[in-house]
Amino acid sequence: MKTLLATCIGVLGLSLNIAHAATGADSYNIVEKGRYLTTLGDCAACHTLPGKPMFSGGVVIDTPFGKLLGANITPDQVTGVGRWSFEDFQNVMSSGHGLDGKLLYGAMPYTAYTKVSREDNQAIWAYLKTVDAVDNKVETNQLPFPFSVRSSLIGWNLLNFKQGEFKPDPQKSAQWNRGAYLVEGLGHCGTCHTPKGLTGGDKADQFLGGANLQGWVAPNITANGHSGIGSWSEADIVQYLKTGANRFDIASGPMAEEVEHSSQHWQDEDLMAVAVYLKDGAKPSEAPKPLAANTPAMVAGKAIYADRCSACHISSGEGAAHLFPKLAMAPLVNGDDPASLIRVVLSGSRAGATDAAPTAPAMPAFGWNLSDDNVADVLTYVRNSWGNAAPAVSASDVKSMREQLQPK
């Protein structure tokens, strides 16, 4: 009897240990899933200052209406989210309501995060609870009156926000739906790449059609063949997101930071799902006619290009693989807004370093020895050569960007 009882107790103890181990493994797995999802969503971009503790807030977010600061989302009980419950976090992600129902500004992209599943939010929340708590009080609302009045967001939400989790399209593949979930939801690609209306909300009918943010162009990433990424293959998209460069482009500015801190760490299957989604629905588009080669700007620009640009980008605009991007038939070159091109010529640029491409190629600055007219002419030439066709760049455009880049 004692032997039987001891055996039963032993078996029960073993079962409890196994159950405890399984629970521990489950906890580890959900935290690791959350860690990956926060990286996928590039949460650090708005919530972590360089050199400061992870997610302790304070990042300045410039909006057309003033400045907002990224919140402290560490588990600190006073200045972070330590007092929050999961339901509080779920409300932030799904409806844009902070603690005690406080309405959030659209700079926190809940208009995209509302599509994130409750299960994924639980994983993100589990991970956030494990990061170091940091005592760092952040006054997130730096907007001037009347934009500082949060009650105005009631009307903003009516105009610009549709709540609801992502619903898979049964007519599409599981891979396409995964890509749509990432692009439209946690990846919040539309936050930068979709044009904004007068109130700062996305123009839904121009989703991913390109936008100007803080003097950089977030280009058209639709499957449009001329100004979008219709000429990119799925492999080109994956390579760009994984390494920060492909045969058409090298990431610069905010996109270089996104690649360095987020997309290079995405799982390969997620990168391919995004590529499949972005390439879907490609339609032939008739390219506009380029400027005549004998116009004064084209003649002057051709000479400047031969002298300053052709050594790296080649006389045919084909560039050099893995070093200098192709300019011929490149979507960014053909875009309506030349702001990023002007900025890079004036002040130079360096791609973000990634694990897959640790040596970041760079573009030297030419603002010191090219006049506004020179920059306008060479970019007009580039935008209307080798199959490209785009509006001419004016000297006033260059002057405006040069002034914007001056230290304040």
Helix axes 234-243, 253-261, angle to 10 degrees: 80
Name the domain boundary from 145, 165, 185.
165
Tell me: do 6 and 154 sit in the same domain: yes
Whole-number pLDDT of residue 63: 85
* H or E element, residue 217: strand 216-218
60 within a domain of the structure (yes/no): yes
Whole-number pLDDT of residue 283: 67
pLDDT band at 379 (very low <50, low <70, confident <90, very high): very high
The tokens for 381 are 């030439």
127 within a domain of the structure (yes/no): yes
Whole-number pLDDT of residue 10: 42
Whole-number pLDDT of residue 360: 67
Tell me: do 160 and 307 sit in the same domain: no
Closest CA to 372 of 353, 396, 339: 396
24 pLDDT exceeds 80? no
Tell me: do 157 and 301 sit in the same domain: no
329 within a domain of the structure (yes/no): yes
70 pLDDT exceeds 70? yes
Name the domain boundary from 106, 133, 165.
165
Whole-number pLDDT of residue 362: 77
Provide mean pLDDT across the span 288-317: 93
Closest CA to 181 of 106, 249, 117, 118: 117
225 within a domain of the structure (yes/no): no
215 within a domain of the structure (yes/no): no
Name the domain boundary from 107, 141, 165.
165
275 pLDDT exceeds 90? yes
184-198 per-residue burial string, b: 16 or more CB within 10 A, e: under 16: bbbbbbbbbbbbbee
Provide the Cα torsion 125, 129, 133, 137; round to 10°: 30
Whole-number pLDDT of residue 126: 97
Residue 20 has a CB neighbour count (10 Å cut-off) of 10
253 within a domain of the structure (yes/no): no
How many domains is the chain partitioned into structurally? Answer: 2
What single DSSP character describes residue 182? I
Q: Are 336 and 392 in contact (CB under 8 A)?
A: no
241-264 per-residue burial string, b: 16 or more CB within 10 A, e: under 16: bbbbbbbbbbbbbebbbbbbbbbb
CATH number for the domain harbouring residue 391: 1.10.760.10
229 pLDDT exceeds 70? yes
Strand boundaries in 76-154, DSSP class E:
141-142
Written as one letter, the residue type at 261 is: H
Whole-number pLDDT of residue 73: 97
Q: What mean pLDDT value characterizes the chain?
A: 88
359 pLDDT exceeds 90? no
pTM score, whole prediction: 0.82
234 within a domain of the structure (yes/no): no
User: Residue 33's domain spans which residues?
Assistant: 1-165
**Lowest-confidence region among 10-14, 200-204, 247-251, 354-358:** 10-14
90 within a domain of the structure (yes/no): yes
